[in-house]
Every structure is written in structure tokens, then in C-alpha cells.
Amino acid sequence: MVEVVSESTKIVDYPAKRVEYNVLNIPEYWIVDPLTNKVTVLTLIEELYEPVEFFGSDACGGKQRIQSQTLPQLELTVEQVLTADS
């Protein structure tokens, strides 16, 4: 499951969706936030979501690879997700 944040949905995408997906027992979902240049991966652990944030570039200017427990073979960077054609 992936949510893409926009100016009009940012209030709902962070707190409200967490509750919604928890009720549905979704094991992992992503919040793609082009407003802050980050991807947050939320993994359901013991009925609570644990967030891990990945940013467009690290402190050295490198491209940060997104890590997913559900899809460990995935090899995407935050830039690839943020710049993908719609």
C-alpha cells in the first residue's frame, strides 16, 4: 500500500491512515512525501506501526536506498520513487 502526500492530504496521510491500515492488518505501507523529499516505510510490529524514514539524499549527497521488510529484494532509491512518471 502506498500513499502519496499532497498539500491537501498531508494531515490525513500521516495519522489517520495509520489507524485505518492497522484495523485492516496491512503488514507494511509507504508514505511518499514529495513535499519533504522523503519516503516513510511503516511496518506493523506487534499491532503498532514502526516508521523508518528515507530521504532524497544522505548527508554526503548519496542516494538513499529504501529498505522494506516485506520486499527485501527491492532496489529503489527515494529519488527513483519521487521522480517516477505518473
Mean pLDDT by 10 residues, the chain (86 residues): 88 84 94 92 94 77 81 90 75
Buried b (16+ CB within 10 A) or exposed e, 16-43: ebbeebeeeebebbbbbbeeeebbbbbb
Q: What is the pTM of this model?
A: 0.85
Residue-level pLDDT at 52? 95
